């Protein structure tokens, strides 16, 4: 059985394969040393199956890896799979594509999330009515039961903002997000009120990038940067496409998107001015 986000399994597997190579061992030799079948080592290294932290520790000892920071990172990767733990989104496996399950898993484990949104309100800040309207528009041919389930998932995700400690959310919203009338004027008015309420939470930093800012570095599309406790080596960038999501984990990619987000924050209105801006649009809606 596969556990945890596939992006994590692949990263862990690639690192373990590299360390095995540095130790001068074939996969068969490594398997014999730890008392496993070679196929288990191969499945772990390709990310085809999850691996328990205890097994990772055994491999690291076998490969004579003494770097404490590296060991901590790899053990964190293994633990992020949630082996044997029941996550709430497992109940929705029948309606959630794998990439969405990966996203929710990362979101639930992250300590911070930075997001640029150019079209819709971030899922963590959506009202039920807005979430329903967005989901209905984004996924054609949904029956009511599946629509209900997808909206339930989106609302359940918002618990990360109320957990202890909560996810720290920094969001830059293009003004188009606030102007696009999703679900009709009443739904949009309530959504703008919800944004004002969310902007006052200590764990939420909300900034508006007004049309007056002109072209900007994020004009090519939205993105999310997840950060994790203890180390930046686990940070992930997520780019959404119509039928799939792209996960970027190379250090240079994460640094590029992090810098891009910093630039967007600089050009956006301050959190205080953004709150007033949102409230003003709401009053005029």
Query: Using 50, 70 and 90 to split pLDDT, how confident is the model at 139?
Result: confident
**Cα–Cα distance for residue pair 29/48, rounded to 1 Å:** 20
Cα–Cα nearest to 161, from 101, 115, 222, 214: 115
Q: Tell whether the model's pLDDT for residue 241 goes beyond 80.
A: no
Q: Tell whether the model's pLDDT for residue 69 goes beyond 60.
A: yes
Burial (CB < 10 A; 0-12, 13-18, 19+), residue 219, is exposed
Q: Which pLDDT value is given to residue 242? A: 63
Q: Which pLDDT value is given to residue 85? A: 41
Prior bond of 165 cis (ω within 30°):
yes
Radius of gyration for the alpha carbons in the chain, expressed in angstroms and rounded: 21
Q: Tell whether the model's pLDDT for residue 90 goes beyond 90.
A: no
Decide which of 130 and 142 is more confident: 130
Q: What is the pTM of this model?
A: 0.82
**Tokens representing 261?**
């987000």
Decide which of 110 and 82 is more confident: 110
**Tokens representing 128?**
């039920």
Query: Using 50, 70 and 90 to split pLDDT, how confident is the model at 152?
Result: very high
- Quickly list H helices, 6-97: 6-22, 27-34, 38-46, 53-62, 68-79
Q: From edge to edge, which strands make up the β-sheet containing 245-248?
A: 204-209, 168-174, 112-117, 223-227, 236-240, 245-248
**Tokens representing 149?**
């389930």
**Cα–Cα distance for residue pair 222/174, rounded to 1 Å:** 10
What is the average pLDDT score of the chain?
A: 89
| Per-residue pLDDT tens digits for 253-282 | 999 999 999 999 999 999 999 999 999 998
Cα–Cα nearest to 105, from 92, 115, 119, 117: 92
């Amino acid at each position: 059985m596969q556990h945890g986000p596939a992006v994590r399994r692949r990263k862990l597997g690639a690192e373990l394969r590299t360390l095995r190579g540095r130790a001068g061992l074939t996969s068969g030799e490594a398997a014999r040393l730890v008392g496993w079948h070679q196929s288990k080592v191969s499945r772990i290294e390709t990310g085809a199956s999850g691996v328990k932290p205890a097994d990772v520790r055994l491999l690291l000892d076998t490969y004579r890896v003494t770097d404490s920071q590296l060991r901590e990172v790899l053990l964190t990767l293994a633990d992020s799979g949630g082996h044997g733990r029941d996550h709430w989104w497992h109940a929705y496996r029948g309606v959630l594509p794998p990439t969405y399950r990966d996203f929710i898993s990362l979101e639930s484990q992250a300590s911070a999330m930075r997001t640029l949104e150019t079209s819709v309100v971030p899922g963590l800040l959506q009202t039920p009515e807005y979430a329903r309207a967005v989901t209905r528009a984004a996924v054609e041919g949904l029956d009511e039961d599946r629509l209900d389930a997808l909206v339930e998932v989106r609302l359940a995700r918002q618990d990360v903002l109320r957990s202890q400690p909560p996810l720290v959310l920094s969001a830059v919203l293009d003004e188009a997000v606030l102007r696009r009338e999703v679900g009709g004027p009443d739904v949009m008015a309530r959504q703008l009120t919800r944004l004002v309420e969310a902007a006052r939470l200590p764990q939420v930093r909300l900034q508006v990038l007004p049309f007056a800012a002109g072209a900007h570095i994020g004009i090519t599309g939205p993105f999310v940067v997840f950060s994790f406790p203890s180390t930046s080596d686990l940070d992930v960038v997520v780019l959404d496409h119509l039928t799939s999501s792209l996960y970027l984990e190379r250090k240079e990619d994460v640094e590029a998107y992090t810098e891009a987000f910093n630039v967007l924050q600089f050009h956006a209105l301050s959190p205080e001015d953004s709150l007033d801006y949102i409230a003003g649009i709401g009053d005029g809606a």
